[in-house]
Amino acid sequence: MNREYVPRALAAAVAAAFAAAAGAAPIAAAVVQRLVNAPPAGRQVWQSEPPADCPFEPSPILGGVLFTGRHSDYRCGDTFYPSWASDGNLYSPWTDGTTDGVGCGSGQGADAQTGQAVMIGHDPLELTIRNTSPPKVASALPYQGRYPCGSLVHDGIWYYGTYCLGPAGSYDHKGFRWNWPNLGPMPGFQISRDLGKTWELSPHTPESPLFPEPAQYLGPVKMGAPHFVDFGKNMEHSPDGKAYLLGMGAAEDDPEPRPCIKPTPAGSFEVQPCSDDFAHANLSWISADQVYLARVKPSPETINDLKSYEFFAGRDAGGEPVWTSDFSRIEPLLEWNNHMGCVTATWVPGLRRYLMCITDGWPTVAKMDSYILEAGALTGPWRLVAYMKDFGEQGYFLNFPSRFISTDGKTLWLCYSANFSPDWNGVKLEVNPPGGRYGLCLHELRLLAPGEGAEPAPVDPLQAADNVARQARVEVSSAHPDYSGQGAVDAHVDGYPGDIRKEWASAAEGAGAWIKLSWDRLQTIDRVQLFDRPNALDQITGGRLEFSDGSSIDLARPLPDGAARGLEIAFESKTVSWVRFTVTSVKPDSPNIGLAEFAVFGSGT
């Protein structure tokens, strides 16, 4: 059944047809229950605010990005970098969280784990995500973290890279708490010849990595945390059949390194003097100074063989790219001191351009800035599409999966994760755009031409005048501190971990919790929509609607877990002065049951 919004009249007609076909009693036959999508939230053109020293000229063909408000609601770990295989599925690494009921963490030193999953489906909002095998274990020692990076499925073979981090996931230095402040070496690729069911270990280790760096433990690298350029399905748009890798790095003797800082009472930070031998996350898991480029013809024989690689080594006198097999001659592809970090790129066939995502996440545990560049060739020149200050507000691991790009190249889905460190050093983080979370996020965006404005937003049924819940008097069985029943009738589907003012949460109630809407004048209504709280803990699995005319309707199914979808209950018009929803069953261990939204649609008084 179509899950999009449809008018009341159509819902009533469907209800009547169901009733006639079933030969049921009039009242029961008139009830139709179906899933509906939550209206898009957070539609916005992200204001581009590049710093004054930005070295990238504005793009002459792309002038900004519009977030449509459409986003996923998956409950998975983070660090997703999907690769589009020839079987039509996406295959991705993941870690630090739970995916498909299995937990994984990459910061355990000798027992560091990395997960792997298949993402089945063509709709980014309807993917089936399953682990292909249990998380793999590979030692990070002498580092403590070993995380996923470059991942490529080509000709049925999965190449899965990892990189090392140190000295610890939580590292205190002069009063400031850092997250993995030192980016380490890349210990090669694990290989699967059966799409992730079994794996061959990399022949390399943290102490004997694929690329001959760093010069010393915790020293800087150049091909740090490399990621494969996404050339589309089975690498179909590679210009020469080779796989290209983008790494982030920094120089050994940085003349202007990042400073030592300390937290402030206001939740920010300030520079403090320091003479210690500590790099202050100048090159960390999410901050860098440069971007580097390498390429290789992918095969099980070449992927872990340094001699099979070529590295970008600058330009010749005529401005043409120079490639070398000598790693010591590698040169930056891009450089912006103290403003670079994690980097990915995707070929967009409809635009015949590459899009590059870079995140400057220094100081590793605060708000993060990301920006999008475009170029006609991987070697540039690269130009600025949008500089997204405080994206997420702590967004990281940005990438554009080629599977979800429109034919004209203007509509894409941004894959990322966000807000892993709320309250570290007193920093408060909001969710922006709405729908972000610590875990897999997919958000739809549209690329705008220079000077192009956003088209009018689609009609939001919750904001329409016929949603009479907005004028109702609200009573609830209880409310958790800082929550109120009014949050369930504000025409916004939101709540923890987003804006808690926009939902109702009971005070430690489960089955038996209720919310009642009343009107001073009679209302003629024919439809109700219920949206569960967006968090992963609470879920209403059963409930009953009761009306002032003495009728009642039991829910035919649980509310979708999370707020990306809700349950609509359509019925023959009835004139009432109140409607009450009572929870009759919940998911086990739901701590504070409630609703993100309770909408009631009418056509008169």
Q: What pLDDT was estimated at residue 604? A: 56
CB atoms within 10 A of CB 115: 30
Question: pTM to 2 decimals?
Answer: 0.88
DSSP states along 449-496? -TTPPPPPPPP-GGGSTTBGGGGSEEEES---TT--GGGGGSS----T
Amino acid identity of 209? P
From CA 253, how far away is CA 282, in angstroms rounded?
A: 11
From CA 155, how far away is CA 197, in angstroms rounded?
A: 16
CB atoms within 10 A of CB 455: 10
Detail the DSSP E strand segments found in 105-242. 113-120, 128-131, 136-137, 145-154, 157-166, 171-173, 176-178, 182-183, 189-192, 224-228
For residues 467 and 519, the answer to whether their CB atoms sit within 8 Å is no
Closest by alpha carbon to 135, among 153, 108, 155?
Answer: 108
Q: What pLDDT was estimated at residue 16? A: 43
Q: What are phi and psi of 411, to 5 degrees?
A: -115, 125
Give the angle subtended at the CA of 133 by the CAs of 136 and 401, to the nearest 5°. 90
Domains of the chain: 8-39+461-604 (2.60.120.260), 44-448 (2.115.10)
**DSSP label at residue 418:** E
From CA 400, how far away is CA 372, in angstroms rounded?
A: 11
When computed from its CA atoms, the radius of gyration of the chain, rounded to whole angstroms, is 26
For residues 359 and 368, the answer to whether their CB atoms sit within 8 Å is yes
From CA 43, how far away is CA 380, in angstroms rounded?
A: 31
For residues 522 and 465, the answer to whether their CB atoms sit within 8 Å is no
3-state class of 234 per DSSP? helix
For residues 76 and 43, the answer to whether their CB atoms sit within 8 Å is no
Closest by alpha carbon to 185, among 223, 137, 138?
Answer: 223
From CA 176, how far away is CA 183, in angstroms rounded?
A: 18
Detail the DSSP E strand segments found in 341-455. 342-348, 353-360, 369-375, 383-388, 395-399, 411-418, 441-448
| Biggest CA-to-CA distance, the chain | 86
From CA 320, how far away is CA 203, in angstroms rounded?
A: 35
For residues 514 and 584, the answer to whether their CB atoms sit within 8 Å is no
DSSP states along 277-312? S--TTTT-SS-EEEEEEEEE--STTTTT-GGG-EEE
Low-confidence ranges of the chain (pLDDT < 70): 1-29, 604-605
What SS3 string covers 92-126?
EEEECEEECCEEECCCCHHHCEEEEEEEECCCCCC
From CA 211, how far away is CA 183, in angstroms rounded?
A: 14
Q: What pLDDT was estimated at residue 10? A: 44
Q: What mean pLDDT is reported for the chain?
A: 93
From CA 565, how far away is CA 74, in angstroms rounded?
A: 12
Q: What pLDDT was estimated at residue 18? A: 41
Distances (CA, A) of 486 to 71, 492, 580, 591: 25, 11, 14, 20
Distances (CA, A) of 23 to 30, 211, 569: 11, 73, 20
CB atoms within 10 A of CB 67: 25
Token match 């999009």: residue? Answer: 4
3-state class of 250 per DSSP? coil
Q: What pLDDT was estimated at residue 369? A: 98
